[in-house]
Structure 1
Amino acid sequence: MPAPRRPAAVAFLILAASPAWAAGVRLGAPFGDHMVIQRDRPVRVWGEAAGGAGVRVRLGPRQERATAAPDGRWSATLEPLPAGGPYVLTAESGGQRAEAADVLVGDVWLCSGQSNMQMTLKESDGGPEAADAAGALGKLRLCSVGKRPSAVPESVGEIRWRVASRESARDFSAVGFFFAADLLADPALRGVPVGVIDASFGGTMCEGWVPAEALSGFAREDLRDSMFGIRPSGLYNGMIAPLGKTSIKGVVWYQGEGNSDRPALYPRLLAALFASWRGRFEDPGLPFIVVQLPDYAPGWSGVSWAWIREAQAAAVRSAEHASLAVGIDTNDGSDLHPRPKREIGRRAALLALHDVYGRPVVARGPEFLRATPEGGSLRVAFDTAGDGLMARGGGPVRGFAVAGADGRYRYADAAIDGDAVVLRSQSVPSPLTVRYAWAGAPGANLVNRSGLPAAPFRTDRATQADADVQRQLAGRLVQTKSYEVVVGGNGMVTSLVAGGKQFLSNDPGWAGGTTLTGGWAPRNLADIREPGPGFLSCADDDVRLDLEFGEGGMDWTVANRGKGEVRLRIALHPKVAVHRRGEPGPVELRRDAAIVLVTGADLVSGPEGSQVLEAAIAGGATRRLTLSFAGK
């Protein structure tokens, strides 16, 4: 959860402790030791000094003078510098000096969005190994912006630059790190320092990242708060505005999950974000690389992610200097926060190399051109840029569906013919329209020879409608004479029946069954194993839930190997009556004649009819709940 706004005195202490602060003169929030300044662009430097005081600013061979305004604010613009360094950036006034040491000049990329951009290197596949090798990337610098929403635009923020190392990389954005590492691997950029700024916040809406003036054309009822009660514009105010008018090379944007249940509004929101950030950084051609959401079967509020992907693609098509990194086929679609982040970073880096740096690399998969009916088939042509078409993994091409005049789609057989795919379906004798990869987790496999996927598309104009049939991860059923338990594919208990009565809420999503919450969303304990008879172990990287079943009861043990607290929530059926036997003591759950005694819960929350048992597990701690059964 984000920290509340600090009072002014605390903010002053943060500045006073910074190497960029000295009595009488201060460098602005983005300027600190180990930073990267954008090459080949005017260098905008600002800060504070005594009102009316002269300030001399130096960076390597460049220097400039400024005069502080009556309110103490000053700014100076230095001539551009080529890639190089390290330098010392200094601001001198009235015999005082503030400085930022070990400053490199290179390319600066801003990586922003919600939880999948925030997901750290240590949490991703191959991330711990990449972090161990991070020290070898001598030209890479990592910058973290504190998660600090605000009601008004701020000029001060918690901004920290660090040299790439195992320690700094482990807790940095995985997508941001892999993106930068792939840039540095390109021969043309190996001598160019790269700085990556991670300004991400899990559980957030696009409107939280857009300044208030850019949202003035939206109806208030169309704008929603993010998680933790963060209001529209709050993240822009607290995390983007403190970057000031820093020159940057481009933006990698990975967000959309929070807006996926209302995709029609998203292109307007993203267009507002593009325009406002380009104004903030005074670069009308600032490149944006938008990560199109990857596979996720459950969707959001009953809306398939196919529609938000279409909205993301529409926003990119309508904007100049914007590119779309296709995210499908990078995971199995079961996890809201998929661990495979290396491929997402690689695809974004390929687009940056091709579209921004002009490098001769294949950066996109096949791009849809047109669909032409040919009697009983439909010919779908693609722009392959000479890289051809193929099915990933061999075998038949999957993911196409066709419809006739009635608009009813059926999956089609697909045959590659040069730079086209010919579609046929016995159920659709005269196909007119086509959809490709149109599902939450579509299982589509059309790629080019470089292995980059074709993006989802459709040729109909039907309004949004969903009946998305998805395969789910296999769960487990446990039966004894006293009770019956169902464990879903995410490692959560979804059903508990005792005495023929259901004790858990069957409300959809996070409100039903059991959840383990921590950070910005419920955890997905999809690594389910059976270490022994009557024993299930469900885990992710940081948390393990052990379920040990006996004839008359069971133990639920949560081991939290992470740093932050997690909470086990057991949502109860509306007809379950709750009583606590003493303080402290077991909680008695009664439904008619059936009784379940729960020992180890911290509290019972919620009103009668929607009550929840909760247990908090601190970082590095283990908690056990015991459930025993009585009654008939």
Structure 2
Amino acid sequence: MSSPLSSLRPVPALLLGLLLAQAAAAKDLALLPPYGEHMVLQRDRPAVLQGEADAAQAVTIQWAGKKLTVKADASGRWSATLPSRGAGGPHALEVQAGKSKLKLSDVWVGDVWLCAGQSNMEWPLKYSDGADEEIRNVDAPSIRHMRVPLTANVAPQSVLPAAPWVVGRAGQTGNFSAIGWYFARTLQAHQASHKQPVVPIGLLDISWGGSHIETWMSRPTALAREDLAGFVRSLPASNASYAGDKNAVIEKRVGAWQPGLDYKSGDDPKMAEPGYDHSRWPTLRAPDVWEKQGLADLDGIVWYRREITLTAAQAQGAATLSLGNIDDCDDSYVNGQRVGGFCQHDRARLHAVPAGLLKEGRNVIAVRVTDYGGGGGFYGDPALMRLETAAGNVALAGTWAARVVQAKVATQPSANDAPTLAFNAMVEPLRGLPVAGVIWYQGESNVGRAERYRDDFPTMIRDWRAHFAQPEMPFLWVQLAAFLPMADNNVNNAPWAELRDAQTATLSLPHTGMAIATDVGNANDIHPRNKRAVGERLARWLTDPANASGPRLVKATPKGKEMVLDFDRRDLQVHGASLNGFALAQGDGPFKPAQARLENGRVIVSHPELTAPDAVRFGWVNNPSESNLYDGSGLPARPFRTDARPLVTTGSRYQ
């Protein structure tokens, strides 16, 4: 009896090829991000809806009472231009291909704002001042937020990483961009208070903590730059190739840094014990991230160990282990016993050491640090690294024995591995998307190249406007907040002031605005928690542009031993007992902190050692939080300088 299989005839090769091609092209009906349930479409402009279906399949879309039919291409991709609608919602959108149907019942039309930049834009509402009450009590369902997953790519992509739109219901907004949330809330509150229709707002969050501006440039723009083109041309053809090359480099780098010490066998809990021998370990400075100490680009696990000697009085009773900030996670041990640890890179470590754990003489502190991205290790104020005992503090800043015990295996590049990488994956797929504009908070990672930023920032804005086919697309940004210890301020050497000045210079582009944030910073934290003020000040450029910029210097006139400063408004105020933040120079001499007073709407500046000052600076330090000149609307004056001396960051370029 013959087998049933013997009755089957061979499939001709050509037919088999066609069947395989059709099978490969077969796709479920789907919408491509950022399109999906709860989305916001830009009002008063046609929207290009994109999706996937079977190859060459007809796709029917019903929207705004109209029916559109388009055809998927050979790869299964399709797009349809939806007719524009005015603000409002909820609306229904139906998409059908063959027997498959998608029905979205909660689509709104309003304003779509891109939230872009680095960690201060990325900063979630739940970690901001007043977050608990804001999240619990504020119900704003016409504000929606999509957090685009952090994805980098060596080549421009056509599809955005998938992510849901989240509705601004009470209790659901904790992961919204805090600045984006307050920006949207302020706009809607203004509309409501002026008896205007409240416009729905979609926040499309593409920010990436620590990112450099160069990663947000398009490939053509970066290739046109002599200092960036080589990096872009050297990128491999795929992420897989890039990851393989990067892993090989990391393996070689770690091997050279700790010769003879394997890091692939995993970490050992015995490394916390006081008797463990770390005599062969290399050392790291703390506080200082390890990526600046020979371990560039390393994400993974590093053990730190330090021996201290205590007196009998210091060893008696309970104590506190203060370690400052750690990027990202710590497990901290004293004499082999775990005393604490958590994952939050911007929160100082204060771990309780129970009585009886410390000993007279030799003691060992061990810290297992896990870094998921960025610098890695201890950072911040050295004074925060100490063992606090009843008999006094023991300093812990300095040299620690250290060993890499695990390196994260790269599967794709990170944003800062080369120019264009974040743009390729998170901006390129949005080409032509109608948006209301961009809100931007970035620059901290470019402080060392502040002079170059004067060209980079406006170049990037023009680049994005061309990409979105909106030459007048509003672009609003936050000037860098005050940061770093005030004791280190130097009016003659202030890279942060130079970056702020580059941001100010970019206001020469039309349809731009800048929120001043010099008064909402934190000397010890690059992430100030007062995001409400920042979001509100960004929104003011749309709700009250005449009072959005803060006092702006228009003329500085030498007058004997003084300089007379005129601003663009006369309602100047001093927030404090005396007017601070000014510095003067004469000829080629250095700038000196100066005395200032307010007279008849003008500022008069002088210094007892200068007989004919001819240049003035204001807020020209890394941390200008003491600068206290304001206008009547409550905004601080922006930092400025009247001189044209070479900047300390001149010549610094991307590496």
**How would you bin the TM-score normalised by the shorter chain?**
0.5 to 0.7
Alignment match, 1:433? 615
Alignment match, 1:100? 104
Q: What do the CA deviations read for 1:390-439 (whole angstroms, capped 9, x no partner)?
A: 012x4221111111113321222222233321112212121111100000
Structure 1 counterpart SS, 2:166:
strand
Q: Which runs of 5+ in 1 are unaligned?
A: 1-21, 356-360, 467-632
Letter in 1 for 2:606: R
After superposition, where does 1:132-151 map in structure 2 within 5 Å? 132-134=136-138, 136-151=139-154
Q: Is residue 127 of structure 1 aligned with residue 309 of structure 2?
A: no
Using structure 2 for the length normalisation, give the TM-score.
0.63
Alignment match, 1:374? 559
1:204 to 182, 195, 211: 211
Structure exhibiting the larger radius of gyration computed from Cα positions: 2
Alignment match, 2:198? 191
Structure 1 counterpart SS, 2:164:
strand
Does the C-alpha gap of structure 1 residues 405 and 30 become closer, same or farther in structure 2, counting only changes over 3 Å? same
Does the C-alpha gap of structure 1 residues 174 and 156 become closer, same or farther in structure 2, counting only changes over 3 Å? closer
Q: Which has the higher contact order (CA 8 A, sep 6+)?
A: 2
Moved more, 111-120 or 94-103: 94-103
Q: What do the CA deviations read for 1:216-253 (whole angstroms, capped 9, x no partner)?
A: 12234699899456322111122222334321101011
Letter in 1 for 2:473: L
Letter in 1 for 2:600: G
Separation of aligned partners in 2, 1:144 and 1:114? 13
Structure 1 counterpart SS, 2:547:
coil
Structure 2 counterpart SS, 1:170:
coil
Does the C-alpha gap of structure 1 residues 92 and 246 become closer, same or farther in structure 2, counting only changes over 3 Å? same
Structure 2 counterpart SS, 1:169:
coil
Alpha-carbon contact 1:30-1:242 (below 8 Å) kept: no
Separation of aligned partners in 2, 1:167 and 1:238? 30
Letter in 2 for 1:340: N
Moved more, 48-57 or 142-151: 48-57
Letter in 2 for 1:336: I
> 1:292 Cα shift?
0.7
Q: Is residue 316 of structure 1 aligned with residue 510 of structure 2?
A: no
Letter in 1 for 2:167: V
Alpha-carbon contact 1:400-1:434 (below 8 Å) kept: yes
Moved more, 192-201 or 325-334: 325-334
Alpha-carbon contact 1:87-1:102 (below 8 Å) kept: yes
Alignment match, 1:61? 65
Alpha-carbon contact 1:145-1:198 (below 8 Å) kept: yes
Alignment match, 1:286? 473
Q: Is residue 305 of structure 1 aligned with residue 312 of structure 2?
A: no
After superposition, where does 1:220-231 map in structure 2 within 5 Å? 220=227, 227=374, 228=414, 230-231=417-418
> 1:454 Cα shift?
0.8
Moved more, 438-447 or 264-273: 264-273
Structure 2 counterpart SS, 1:401:
strand
Alignment match, 1:250? 437
Letter in 1 for 2:176: F
> 1:167 Cα shift?
4.2
Structure 1 counterpart SS, 2:206:
strand
Separation of aligned partners in 2, 1:212 and 1:69? 26
Separation of aligned partners in 2, 1:53 and 1:266? 48
Separation of aligned partners in 1, 2:431 and 2:94? 18
Alignment match, 2:224? 217
Alpha-carbon contact 1:157-1:242 (below 8 Å) kept: no
Structure 1 counterpart SS, 2:520:
coil
> 1:441 Cα shift?
1.0
Does the C-alpha gap of structure 1 residues 190 and 181 become closer, same or farther in structure 2, counting only changes over 3 Å? farther
Q: What do the CA deviations read for 1:526-548 (whole angstroms, capped 9, x no partner)?
A: xxxxxxxxxxxxxxxxxxxxxxx
Alignment match, 1:502? none
Q: What do the CA deviations read for 1:247-290 (whole angstroms, capped 9, x no partner)?
A: 11010110001111111111322223212221222211111101
Separation of aligned partners in 1, 2:80 and 2:38? 21
Structure 1 counterpart SS, 2:181:
helix
Letter in 2 for 1:152: A
Separation of aligned partners in 1, 2:170 and 2:494? 40
> 1:169 Cα shift?
1.3
Separation of aligned partners in 2, 1:206 and 1:425? 39
Structure 2 counterpart SS, 1:369:
strand
Letter in 2 for 1:200: S
Does the C-alpha gap of structure 1 residues 446 and 222 become closer, same or farther in structure 2, counting only changes over 3 Å? farther
1:275 to 422, 443, 462: 462
Structure 1 counterpart SS, 2:426:
helix
Separation of aligned partners in 1, 2:537 and 2:230? 31
Q: Is residue 459 of structure 1 aligned with residue 466 of structure 2?
A: no
Alignment match, 1:342? 532
Separation of aligned partners in 2, 1:434 and 1:265? 23
Alpha-carbon contact 1:28-1:47 (below 8 Å) kept: yes
Alignment match, 1:234? 421
Separation of aligned partners in 1, 2:103 and 2:494? 51
Identity of aligned residues (%): 35
> 1:156 Cα shift?
3.5
Does the C-alpha gap of structure 1 residues 223 and 199 become closer, same or farther in structure 2, counting only changes over 3 Å? farther
Does the C-alpha gap of structure 1 residues 401 and 230 become closer, same or farther in structure 2, counting only changes over 3 Å? same
Does the C-alpha gap of structure 1 residues 245 and 58 become closer, same or farther in structure 2, counting only changes over 3 Å? farther
Provide the aligned C-alpha RMSD in A: 2.5
Separation of aligned partners in 2, 1:153 and 1:94? 32
Alpha-carbon contact 1:24-1:93 (below 8 Å) kept: no
Separation of aligned partners in 1, 2:42 and 2:622? 39
Letter in 2 for 1:145: V
Q: What do the CA deviations read for 1:314-361 (whole angstroms, capped 9, x no partner)?
A: 2232x2211111110113422111212111111111113245xxxxx6
Alignment match, 1:179? 183
Q: What do the CA deviations read for 1:502-558 (whole angstroms, capped 9, x no partner)?
A: xxxxxxxxxxxxxxxxxxxxxxxxxxxxxxxxxxxxxxxxxxxxxxxxxxxxxxxxx
Structure 1 counterpart SS, 2:458:
helix
> 1:24 Cα shift?
4.8
Does the C-alpha gap of structure 1 residues 332 and 436 become closer, same or farther in structure 2, counting only changes over 3 Å? same
Structure 2 counterpart SS, 1:261:
helix
Structure 2 counterpart SS, 1:168:
coil
More strand by share: 1
Letter in 2 for 1:231: A
Structure 1 counterpart SS, 2:94:
strand
Structure 2 counterpart SS, 1:277:
helix
Structure 1 counterpart SS, 2:452:
helix
Alpha-carbon contact 1:211-1:237 (below 8 Å) kept: yes
Alignment match, 2:597? 415
Separation of aligned partners in 2, 1:364 and 1:271? 18
1:28 to 21, 32, 49: 32
> 1:76 Cα shift?
1.9
> 1:192 Cα shift?
1.1
Separation of aligned partners in 2, 1:221 and 1:236? 14
Does the C-alpha gap of structure 1 residues 178 and 279 become closer, same or farther in structure 2, counting only changes over 3 Å? same
Does the C-alpha gap of structure 1 residues 108 and 169 become closer, same or farther in structure 2, counting only changes over 3 Å? same
Separation of aligned partners in 2, 1:253 and 1:191? 23
Alignment match, 2:353? none
> 1:145 Cα shift?
0.6
Alignment match, 1:6? none
Alignment match, 2:572? 389
Does the C-alpha gap of structure 1 residues 198 and 168 become closer, same or farther in structure 2, counting only changes over 3 Å? farther
Separation of aligned partners in 1, 2:177 and 2:200? 18
Alignment match, 1:403? 585
